[in-house]
Amino acid sequence: MYVVMVYDVAVERVAKVLKVGRRYLTWVQNSVLEGELSPARFARLKAEVAKVIESSDAVRFYVLPDKGALRVEVLGTSKNEPSQFI
């Protein structure tokens, strides 16, 4: 499955959420990561993120069957392109 993770968390937790997310996904833009994950790795990612955030934070996961189901249009410069392998 292809996962896009978007987060809006308190400043003191941004680095922690990014660190967890980068273990599983590719950072593509401020507060946005994406990449291919197996269902088991996706479950681990969610569990690890849940340990870091608080109830006032927000993390969204957009889950698609595969990257082919995603169309991305970028204006400006891309910071990074996902290239992870399962």
Annotated binding site for Mg(2+): 8
Which amino acids are annotated as binding site, given as ranges?
Answer: 8
**Element housing 36 (H / E):** strand 32-36
How big is the CA angle at 13 (ends 75 and 35), to the nearest 5 degrees? 45
- Can you state the percent helix, strand and coil of the chain, rounding each to 5? 35, 25, 40
